């Protein structure tokens, strides 16, 4: 039986909110503080008076909302990595970015800036993750190949599947 159950998909169903996504991010204790600090720093950049207009401008641009959101948060995370002089542990980048995507999505939904769906959030997380991995040296094509190869049957035995 396939683990992925397409019928579970509810792109237009209950809204994915920050709390739901946050609960499913499980950081180890030694990285929890760094993770929270990165999320807070990202929120400050997104919502501070000085830079909030930039975020609104990004959303006004043409293109799918998921792509704008994913690439925008990827740019934000890379900016934070640079501003921290590389002190941000790389492990927290993806979880913190996903948290920020959900917060930005909440903001878009509540402010009625645009109509955002669960599918947009999914696209945003996928684009964000692939963008970050690409910038850290993972070839997106190889990553896609790897995921395509994946199935219940071909997980290496030594990996405990």
Per rule CB under 8 A, is residue 109 in the interface with another protein?
no
How many residues appear in the chain? 161
78-107 residues in contact with another protein (CB under 8 A) are 78-79, 81-82, 86, 89-95, 98, 103, 107
39-78 residues in contact with another protein (CB under 8 A) are 40, 43-44, 46-49, 52, 54, 56, 58, 71-72, 74-76, 78
Per rule CB under 8 A, is residue 147 in the interface with another protein?
yes
Buried/exposed code over 72-91 (b: 16+ C-beta within 10 A; e: otherwise): bbbebbbebbeeeeeebeee
Q: Angle, nearest 10°, between helix axes 118-135 and 65-83? A: 40
Minimum gap (Å) between residue 1 Cβ and another protein: 13
Find the binder of another protein among 1, 3, 62, 115 (CB under 8 A): 3
Single out the residue of 135, 149, 22 nearest to residue 82, CA to CA: 135
């Amino acid at each position: 039986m396939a683990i992925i159950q397409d019928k579970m998909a509810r792109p237009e169903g209950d809204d994915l909110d920050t709390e739901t996504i946050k609960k499913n991010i499980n950081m180890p204790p030694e990285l929890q503080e760094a993770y929270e600090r990165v999320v807070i720093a990202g929120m400050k950049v997104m919502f501070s008076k000085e830079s909030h207009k930039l975020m609104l401008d990004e959303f006004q641009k043409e293109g799918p909302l998921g792509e704008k959101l994913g690439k925008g948060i990827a740019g934000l995370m890379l900016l934070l990595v640079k501003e921290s002089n590389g002190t941000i542990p790389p492990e927290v980048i993806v979880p913190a970015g996903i948290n920020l995507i959900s917060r930005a999505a909440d903001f878009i939904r509540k402010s009625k800036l645009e109509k955002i769906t669960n599918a947009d959030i999914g696209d945003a997380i996928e684009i964000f993750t692939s963008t970050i991995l690409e910038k850290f040296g993972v070839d997106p094509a190889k990553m896609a190949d790897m995921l395509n190869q994946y199935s219940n049957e071909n997980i290496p035995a030594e990996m405990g599947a």
